Amino acid sequence: MISAASTFRLSLARIPIAVWRILFHSFLYGFALSIADILFNFYLVSQGYTVNDVGLLSMVSRAAGMLMGLPIGWLIDRLGPQKAMIAGVVGYALGWVALLQAPVLLWLIVAQFVVGACYLLAATAVTPLLAQVTSEAQRPFVFGMNASATLVVGLLGSAVGGVLPTLAAGIVAVDPQSTTAYRLALTTVIGLSVVALLPVLTRIPVAIESSGAQSADLAVPSRHSWSMLIWLAMPSFLLGIGGGAILPFQNLFFRDQFGLSDASVGMALAVASVGGGIGALVGAPVVRRIGLQRGAALLRLGATPAMLLMLTPWLPLAIIGFFARGFFVAASYPMNDALVMGATPPSQRGLAMSLMSLLWAGGWAVSAVIWGWVAPMFGYWPQIVAAAMAYALSALTILSLRLQRSVGQTTVQEQA
């Protein structure tokens, strides 16, 4: 019998070079993003901006994603995902140049809007591009690898970002918490973004699946209706509702319910992050055995009992539940992405991904606002139950999709 390790090595050996190029880009770009996440607020405070200003700029970045979501999808479909991704990374780097030179808050707001929109453009284009360079059979494994790398690089970027101001301060002989130190440290975001372009600048071979002698009704239609695109995105909307119900309050939950110190809360959240990184690699073996649609739905459903474990008053079991929630969510969403990409015509994949991101963000925002108001009155148990129900409904929606997928063998040719 072939071992799991042998199967994993065989799967790795079959991945096209084009996929490795995109994954290397995603790793470097994610590294830059995670450094920016940890340092930008400190940079703003060092300039004398208040917590209200920090919150405003965070809102501007999210608003850019909400306002530009659908136009970005259309742009990806018109330019092609590779060109759109390159344009997004270039715009992101230029936006950071403007952020680090901004003399007033208005300049910061405009630059932050550009950064948020360009980030969404680059990040959304990755999935359609991966779909172009893989066969349907390869997508679950490749999408899981991409998701796992994204989670792992966040931990690495946070660790490196934490020491960069001290290193920068030593170079220019200033205080580590000075504006100069933070500005110099944040230039690594620009540098890493530029380096992340190198693997994807040249032409990328595209995998083309030819429909064999199968019946015509199995082929993907040339265009999906808006109602079909929205239905494909509904699992992401429900996933956002579940995430928005608990993740913005995760640190407060562990501190209030179990009396943990800040350091202990950090350890609990780190354990959950590890669960997500592992889970993202588990989805592909599951769907290989039971099918992509059933596998994505079953993995999403696993988050429901995991959430309910957090209702227990025993800390170890609550942590296990939070770990399992991250595991099942991270295992399911790349599989759902692969499912949607396989069921969507290439000419609409950018629009489908942007719609999924838009509805996910909308569900998250609405849920977070509602539970931020309800939790102080009723405690955390209603939102935990609500999150569990949202994950269950998301799984049922995935299972309810009536999908048509292209079939046939895969050939590779150069992109025209």
Sorted by where each starts, the structural domains of the chain and their CATH numbers stand as 16-204 (1.20.1250.20), 214-406 (1.20.1250.20)
Q: Which of the 8 DSSP states describes residue 102? A: -
Residues 6+ apart with CB under 8 A from 30: 149, 150, 153, 154, 157
Nearest to 33 by CA among 174, 211, 154: 154
pTM: 0.78
Distance CA 141, CA 15 (A): 9
| Residues 228, 233, 236: CA angle, nearest 5 degrees | 160
Strand partners, 206: 413
Q: What is the pLDDT along the chain (416 residues), one digit of tens a residue?
A: 444 455 455 466 678 888 999 999 999 998 998 888 888 888 888 899 887 787 778 778 777 877 888 899 999 999 999 999 999 999 999 999 999 999 899 999 999 999 989 998 998 999 999 988 988 888 888 998 888 877 778 777 777 888 888 899 999 888 888 999 999 999 999 999 999 999 999 888 876 554 443 333 345 567 888 899 999 999 999 999 999 898 888 888 888 899 888 678 877 877 777 888 889 889 989 998 999 999 999 999 999 999 999 999 999 999 999 999 999 999 999 999 999 998 999 889 999 999 998 898 888 888 888 888 888 888 899 999 999 999 999 999 999 987 654 433 333 333 33
